[in-house]
Amino acid sequence: MDSKKKLSFTFITVVIGFMIAIQFQTVKEPSVRDTRDTWQLRADILKEKELQLKLLREISSNEEKIAQYETKRKQSKEQVLRETLEELKMEAGLSEVTGPGIIITIEPVNEELLLGKQADSVSPDLLKRLVNELNMYDAQHISIGGRRVINTTVIRDINRETMIDGYALNRLPIEVKVITENAQTAEKLFNRMQVSNSAEEFFIDNLRIKVEKPAEPITIPAYDEALRVRYMEPVKPEEGGKS
């Protein structure tokens, strides 16, 4: 009996031990699986954070680029406005210009060719015709006696003196400077002035025009008087910001 009891006790002990081992293994396996899932989640979260950080950096970089583009665009607009203003000032004669062109000198004829009294001045009509002819032959900028000729320039006789915008041209010779678009146009202007009708008209008044060969650079001063604009006034904005 004792041996049977011992055998039974041993068997029961083995069975109980086996069951405990199975239960321990069953409980232990979920713990390992949960730990593995937690590390995987941590790794995934870390990757998401890295991706988020990368996206934030890209957004910041793009915003910086956009700001730079906006700055460049504003600067570009300002530059275009400045260039346009300079072009308008040049066309209006308000800035000094330098370029290719010719120089025409108006002077008295030689005594042996003199027909009557020697000339000591040039008439406004002759100067106007000369300016018109130069403009017809593609002159871009003109000065007479150091005075810039613009669209509003007035050449007239005041008290028997030829005046250009209020300044007297009472001494000969008078230098007329002409600037053209390029050297080729200056050469054409030179050739045309060699056979110009103006030469004959000046000669009748005992004057001659001497046309120098094209030269570069020629500098013409800016118009230094206040521009007077008639029949124009600024538009006043209406109430409510409407113009």
Is 121 within a domain? yes
- Could you tell me the CATH number of the domain that includes residue 165? 3.30.70.1880
| 203 assigned to some structural domain | yes
Asked if residue 212 belongs to a domain, the reply is yes
Say if 236 falls within a structural domain.
Answer: no
Specify the number of domains making up the chain.
1
* Residue 116 placed within a domain: yes
Helix (H, G, I), strand (E, B) or coil at 226: coil
Residue 149 lies in a domain: yes
Which band of pLDDT confidence, cut at 50, 70 and 90, is reported for residue 50?
confident
The type of residue at 157 is: D
Q: Look up the domain containing 190 and give its range.
A: 99-220
The 10s digit of each residue's pLDDT in 99-108 is: 999 999 999 8
Query: Is residue 204 a part of any domain in this protein?
Result: yes
**Where are the extended beta strands (E) located within 134-205?**
141-144, 147-149, 155-158, 161-164, 167-168, 174-179
pTM > 0.85: no
d(CA 214, CA 102): 5
Give the dihedral of Cα atoms 202, 207, 212, 217; nearest 10 deg.
-90
**Cα–Cα distance list, 194 to 19, 84, 117, 146 (Å):** 128, 36, 26, 23
Assess if residue 158 is contained within a domain: yes
Arithmetic mean of pLDDT, 134-156: 93
Going by pLDDT thresholds of 50, 70 and 90, the confidence category of residue 219 is very high
- Rounded to the nearest 10 degrees, the angle between the axes of helix 197-204 and helix 124-136 is 170
CA distances from 163 to 34, 129, 227, 237 (A): 105, 15, 17, 41
Average pLDDT over residues 125-149: 94
Phi, psi values for residue 219, rounded to 5° = -115, 130
